[in-house]
Structure 1
Amino acid sequence: MSLKYIDLFAGAGGLSEGFIRAGFKPVAHVEMDKAACYTLQTRVAYHYLKSENRFSEYVSYLKGEISRKELYSRIPAEFLGSVINLPVGAENNPAIHKAIEKQLKDEEVDLIIGGPPCQAYSLAGRARSKNGMKGDKRNYLYVQYGKYLERYKPKMFVFENVLGLLSAGKGVYLENMRKLFLKKGYDMKVFRLEANDFGVLQNRKRIIIIGWKSELDIEVPDLEMVKMATAHTVQSLFNDLPKIQAGEGSRYLNYSSKTNEYLSGKAIRNGIDILTQHIARPHTDQDKEIYRIAVQKWNTEKARLNYNDLPEKLKTHQNRSSFFDRFKVVAPNEPFSQTVVAHIAKDGHYYIHPDIEQNRSITIREAARLQSFPDDYFFEGVKDGINRTPAFKQIGNAVPPLMAYEIANKVREILL
């Protein structure tokens, strides 16, 4: 039985990838960011060509032998049309509904997944805002989510967001969500989850809300009891990657060694024999000197660099009273890394590669692996080719597919 879902606020598709892997079928992905929509369409092309035993055509695209336009020309328009590049809201909902219902063909929706942009609820977002995000319309996108529940009447929904949702508005937003969803006919449970409990080698805390139709006799398992942490360390994600310097890398490379138990077991290195988007940022001499100091300090003392401990000539930031850890090594010998966030699109200082000889911040592919994306996942920009900034932004905003997969399995058990 094929269980169908709609993905709202889909981003690059990390949540969706987990549900597809668990056997769900996407009806539509709705996303306002154009670059992320190209990533979603490229992933649609991947799944279609793989199902048609034409995977070599996808590999040709990864190698740059055919353009994105040429890749898409080989995919039926109805498949690419499942990606809807519009912001959810009153102005665009009629067009979104029309596109979704064209894909549905009078069939039922079993599930809605996705969560609104997190800036409105995140502690960092509120700290940066002059008025703590008060009046920001993103605070109320859950109301739109409720409208989609009302229209498509799925049996269940999965709503993902940041921990700050618990405290935003002193808990008022979460309580209003609960009341709204109940009014639409849905009960819900709120779970505070850690990605590393689901086998992801990253410290990433998130809120997952599982909702279901009130009239259904549904028992939702306690997701907070899931403990799937592995014995592997972050180094397992980097072992097979070619060593490159700052500013080096290519659209595709060969792996430097065979796979390992973690990469194969978690479907990160999943059979494809070329490595894509292993591309490092260029860095100034000053940044590289700071990186060397940070890595040396971790390697010799297992201690983090405090910005104020740097030599005076390397301290260029005016703010010396906060953000002491603005330069941070991705520690290879730890069971998980620091949280990968969208700020990685602006600079790589918080994600320094642990190999002092490479002396750089992590690449697109390394960031994707920290998020548990498979190596055949390609992150697009608006323009064809390699676009580092939108790729990093999409990865930082994503739900780890490995975490999504385990949640999807629990939901599938309930629905079947």
Structure 2
Amino acid sequence: MNFIDLFSGAGGLSEGFIRAGFKPVAHVEIDKAACNTMITRAAYHYLKRTGNFNSYLDYIQNKITRTELYSLIPNKERESVINLSIGDENNEIIFDKIDSLKGDKSIDFIIGGPPCQAYSIVGRSRDGNRMQGDSRNYLFREYAKFLEYYQPRYFVFENVIGLKSAKTKNGDSYLEMMRELFLEKGYYTEYKILEAKDFGVLQNRKRIILIGKKNGKEGFYPKFEKVQSGVTVSEIFKDLPSLRAGAGEYYKTNYKPYNGTYLFESHIRNGLDFTTQHISRPNTEQDKGIYKLAVEKWEDGQQRLNYNDIPLHWQTHKNTKSFVDRFKVVAADLPYSQTVVAHICKDGHYYIHPDKSQNRSLTPREAARLQTFPDDFFFEGISEKPSRTAAYKQIGNAVPPLMAEKIANKLKEIYE
């Protein structure tokens, strides 16, 4: 079951499919930092498969450089991550690269979804033209070209729920335009809004998952059983060392004792005795004052902080009527958190750690755990030096691997 991942980002969707037994042929992504992350993950899978996993462990403990890590894997592994934008200027190049990688193998699945900003409700509300002139609105047409060229048996197209209401200036639905185009290419499609929390993810994350089947007919969409995690968000913090703002390590961080099962069952903890990228942003005294106030309000009857409740000398925004919840605690005592989005790379105000004594926003590792990325998943920057900002962006844009794995397992049943 060979697949291509388009608009792959850091590879959350791909990670789930690999766990389910699918084999990646290529990942296509425009963001250089995300491509570096995917090459590092390709190195992880290759070295684990070939019995040289200690070299990967050396890398995430900063004992060898990224250049040295990449020298240990075949060129084909590195070349399987294609750092190009999808569109007329590059499609032929991408096709040639993938054709070279796949050889005689067929492409059974295409997965991935175009950038969501053009369809998101928040994105439209913040844009003066409501994203009407944004070229990303029509990237699904490029996706269709890959379907036409490779003729996979199935495809999985993921996007934000705002896609359901996004319309052109003429009032046409982008979602229905997609489905009509995919049908022209020979793919019947069905979609549902799926919630990450129903797959055991400790996060309130709703996404449209549209599945297409070559020459399909109505009624093939998988049925997913809802999974209750049985724990609260506090679970992701239990074995991580306490940090103050600005503290932590990009590389090896040892765990505290942990007696639970969720972190193992969700594949977040998967055999190592340490993790990485548990490093907190530095925060101003003003931010820390607001964070403390937000946590105290939550502790006092689960109240959320309204921006207008912040003392005037700490208010920096003139907008006091919309986005008044811009400071928000990740509540440890709830069964799931608010949605982790890419904006976390700009500031952590919407992702305040629930422990008042730590008084900070989430680290990349904590955000990655809310997304169910395994603790040995290393997020790269553009240069050899890790980047906290790049990690946050990749994590916020990703599909939770645990959710992706369960979707992939159901599709495997149908496929077989």
Cα drift, residue 221 of structure 1: 2.2
1:56 aligns to what SS in structure 2? helix
Residue 59 of structure 1 is matched in structure 2 by 57
1:316 aligns to what SS in structure 2? coil
Residue 293 of structure 1 is matched in structure 2 by 293
Residue 275 of structure 2 is matched in structure 1 by 275
Residue 82 of structure 1 is matched in structure 2 by 80
Residue 137 of structure 1 is matched in structure 2 by 135
Task: Judge conservation of contact 1:259–1:269 (CA < 8 Å) in 2.
Answer: no
> Superposition pairs for residues 86-105 of structure 1, below 5 Å?
86-105=84-103
Q: Which amino acid aligns with 1:181?
A: F
Q: Which amino acid aligns with 2:237?
A: F
2:107 aligns to what SS in structure 1? coil
Deviates more, 1:369-378 or 1:253-262: 253-262
Residue 192 of structure 1 is matched in structure 2 by 193
Cα drift, residue 299 of structure 1: 1.1
> Superposition pairs for residues 356-395 of structure 1, below 5 Å?
356-395=356-395
Q: Which amino acid aligns with 1:340?
A: V
Cα drift, residue 216 of structure 1: 7.7
Provide the aligned length of Structure 1 versus Structure 2.
Answer: 412
Deviates more, 1:122-131 or 1:188-197: 122-131
Deviates more, 1:267-276 or 1:334-343: 267-276
Moved over 2 A (4+): 215-223
Task: Supply the distance in 1 between the matched residues of 2:215 and 2:163 (Cα, whole angstroms).
Answer: 23
Q: Which amino acid aligns with 1:277?
A: Q
Q: Which amino acid aligns with 1:317?
A: H
Cα drift, residue 132 of structure 1: 1.2
1:119 aligns to what SS in structure 2? coil
Q: Which amino acid aligns with 2:413?
A: E
2:117 aligns to what SS in structure 1? helix
Residue 317 of structure 1 is matched in structure 2 by 317
Task: Supply the distance in 2 between the matched residues of 1:414 and 1:178 (Cα, whole angstroms).
Answer: 21
Task: Judge conservation of contact 2:154–2:212 (CA < 8 Å) in 1.
Answer: yes
Cα drift, residue 215 of structure 1: 5.5
Cα drift, residue 125 of structure 1: 1.4
Cα drift, residue 128 of structure 1: 2.0
Residue 174 of structure 1 is matched in structure 2 by 175
Task: Judge conservation of contact 2:111–2:157 (CA < 8 Å) in 1.
Answer: yes
Deviates more, 1:292-301 or 1:127-136: 127-136
Deviates more, 1:257-266 or 1:151-160: 257-266
> CA RMSD, aligned part only?
1.2
Task: Judge conservation of contact 2:222–2:411 (CA < 8 Å) in 1.
Answer: no
Q: Which amino acid aligns with 1:274?
A: F
Residue 230 of structure 1 is matched in structure 2 by 229
Residue 68 of structure 2 is matched in structure 1 by 70
Task: Supply the distance in 2 between the matched residues of 1:259 and 1:83 (Cα, whole angstroms).
Answer: 38
* Structure 2, gaps ≥5 residues long: none
Give per-residue Cα distances to partners, 1:190-223, cap 9 Å, x unaligned: 1111100000000001000011011689833234
Give per-residue Cα distances to partners, 1:140-186, cap 9 Å, x unaligned: 11111111000000000000000011001056211111111111001
Q: Which amino acid aligns with 2:401?
A: P
1:335 and 2:335 matched: yes
2:173 aligns to what SS in structure 1? helix
Task: Supply the distance in 2 between the matched residues of 1:38 and 1:402 (Cα, whole angstroms).
Answer: 22
2:292 aligns to what SS in structure 1? helix
Task: Supply the distance in 1 between the matched residues of 2:56 and 2:35 (Cα, whole angstroms).
Answer: 17
Task: Supply the distance in 1 between the matched residues of 2:162 and 2:218 (Cα, whole angstroms).
Answer: 31
1:263 and 2:266 matched: no
Task: Supply the distance in 1 between the matched residues of 2:312 and 2:135 (Cα, whole angstroms).
Answer: 43
Cα drift, residue 293 of structure 1: 0.8
Q: 1:220 to 1:322 in 2, by over 3 A?
A: closer
Give per-residue Cα distances to partners, 1:22-58, cap 9 Å, x unaligned: 0000000000000000000000000000001111100
1:406 aligns to what SS in structure 2? helix
* Structure 1, gaps ≥5 residues long: none
Task: Supply the distance in 1 between the matched residues of 2:88 and 2:259 (Cα, whole angstroms).
Answer: 48
Task: Judge conservation of contact 2:188–2:217 (CA < 8 Å) in 1.
Answer: no
Give per-residue Cα distances to partners, 1:89-138, cap 9 Å, x unaligned: 01000110111011110211100000000011111111222211112211
Task: Supply the distance in 2 between the matched residues of 1:259 and 1:183 (Cα, whole angstroms).
Answer: 53
1:26 aligns to what SS in structure 2? strand
Q: Which amino acid aligns with 2:223?
A: D
TM-score by length of 2: 0.97
1:303 aligns to what SS in structure 2? coil
